[in-house]
Amino acid sequence: LREGSAFCRNEYNVTGLCNRYATTCKTIERAHSPKNLWEKIKLSKNYTKSLAQLDEHLQYWPKKLLHRNKQRLTKIHQYLMRMRKLRMKTKPNLVVISKKIERRESRREEKAKVAAKLETSIEKELLERLQKGTYGDIYNFPEREFTKLLDEHEEIESEQSEDEEVEEEVEYVEDFEDESDMEDYEQQGSDSDNDDDDESSSDEDQPKRKKPKRQPTQKGPYVEIEYEHEQESATS
């Protein structure tokens, strides 16, 4: 810094030193109002037009200040163009995630897992009780779980009925030997009855007695037959 010079605090200063600068112009016509003595000139967005405005308004200023203003203008246009190019490019969007939110989400996931396990255990218990028939139509369960369990129960019953139908289709034919054996046994029984009637007519005076048990043949089933004969009194 030169002796007697200092830094300027004005944001529009070109050199940064507290001396003459050209971004704000001082007009003599407004000397009667010091508040409006300095004039701000808004430059055009077009680069060539803005350079022409600088040449127009700074024609009586030193060439060094004019060149500094043009350098500053080109620098502003360059970083604006760079910003537009970066905006056009596709790049990953960085999102800040706080640890507090991560902890909260992890706790929610753990609670959801516990609730899911509880729901599955309730469904199993309900299915077992429905199969045992412990519940009637009185109790009110959650509609979604109850309908799901009923559907599963109906599917199991339908599978069991299909298996039974397949088993019923197989038929077994019995042998006819048992029927023939039973017919032979009945004929023998009728012959023995006739013999017993003859003996009873000849032995009227004898007291009543029981016939001995006849052993059936081994072919037919085991049957016990008892015969009782009552004698009529002679004093009739």
Residue range of the domain that includes 153: 120-157
The single-letter code of the amino acid at 163 is D
Q: Are residues 83 and 127 in the same domain?
A: no
Does residue 124 lie within any of the structural domains?
A: yes
Contacts of residue 211, Cβ cutoff 8 Å, sequence gap at least 6? 196, 226, 227
In a domain, 57, yes or no: yes
Report yes or no on 59 lying in a domain.
yes
Same domain, residue pair 74 and 127? no
What is the DSSP-derived secondary structure letter of residue 17? Answer: B
Q: Are 53 and 40 in contact (CB under 8 A)?
A: no
* Token pair belonging to 5: 């010079």
- Dump the DSSP string for 78-122: HHHHHHHHHHHS--PPP----HHHHHHHHHHHHHHHHHHHHHHHH
Residue pLDDT tens, the chain, 236 long? 566 667 777 766 666 677 655 556 667 777 788 777 777 788 888 999 999 999 998 888 888 888 988 998 899 899 999 999 988 888 888 888 889 999 999 999 999 988 888 888 888 888 887 777 776 655 555 567 667 777 887 888 888 777 766 555 545 445 444 555 555 555 555 555 555 555 554 554 455 555 556 665 555 566 666 667 666 554 44
Total of domains in the chain: 2
128 in any annotated domain: yes
